[in-house]
Amino acid sequence: MSNERVAIVTGGSSGIGREAAARLGREGYAVVIGYAGNQANADEAVKEVEQAGGRAIAVQADVADETAVAAMFDRAEQAYGGVDVVVNAAGIMPLSPLAELDLDVFDRVVRTNLRGTIVVDQQAVRRLRSGGALINVSSSLTKLARPGYSAYSATKGGVEAITLILARELRGRDVTVNTVAPGPTATPLFFEGKSQELIDRITTEPPLERLGEPADIAEIIAFLAGPARWINGQVIYANGGSAA
């Protein structure tokens, strides 16, 4: 199986990450499911990849812990021989108006979403093979500017900045670096802590008048992971027309 491509997907046990892992499985990838703590969900995600036609293992790693992330990449190389694609979908989204924001919570958001991106991307650029792709996950909230999301949006704005710079730092290597910025997507992360009234209002915002589905985003990730070799250093806003 020398032509088999290998992907690491952080946040791979739920939501967009899990759907992306299964979608890559359909393309015949070997997938390493990176997960923070829920082993049962991670094991289910492994089964989904296998049912889709790929191979998979689950590896627990806090994305902000450089030792754990390096060990996850080591495990991918030991199991499958190398790494071709990294999808960095791990993230947390506590909501609060800025004036009431608990700074300990803010530090936790920065640690996971921003430091975690730096740590994962650092290993990715050291390890990705020629023809590889690094795909970060941001959010259309950087454009939508919705009240209550200042901490989350600040970290995601940082993710977008990192992506553009990293693409340029990889000049001379056949490795692309892009970010997907989903709009409201029907995942546990989205529904958590929201009233039905708010969910209904957000659902009607896009011209397509629905929430995104994880499969909508996974399709873009699969495109960037494989055939989209001439897309590089870009942020792709995937939100059904909610924001530019």
Enzyme catalytic residues = 152
Would you report the helix, strand and coil content of the chain in percent, each value rounded to 5? 50, 20, 35
CA–CA dist 122, 68 (Å, integer): 13
CA–CA dist 82, 115 (Å, integer): 24
Chain-centroid distance, C-alpha 136: 5
Q: Is 204 exposed, middle or buried (0-12, 13-18, 19+ CB in 10 A)?
A: exposed
The encoded tokens of residue 178 equal 């892009």
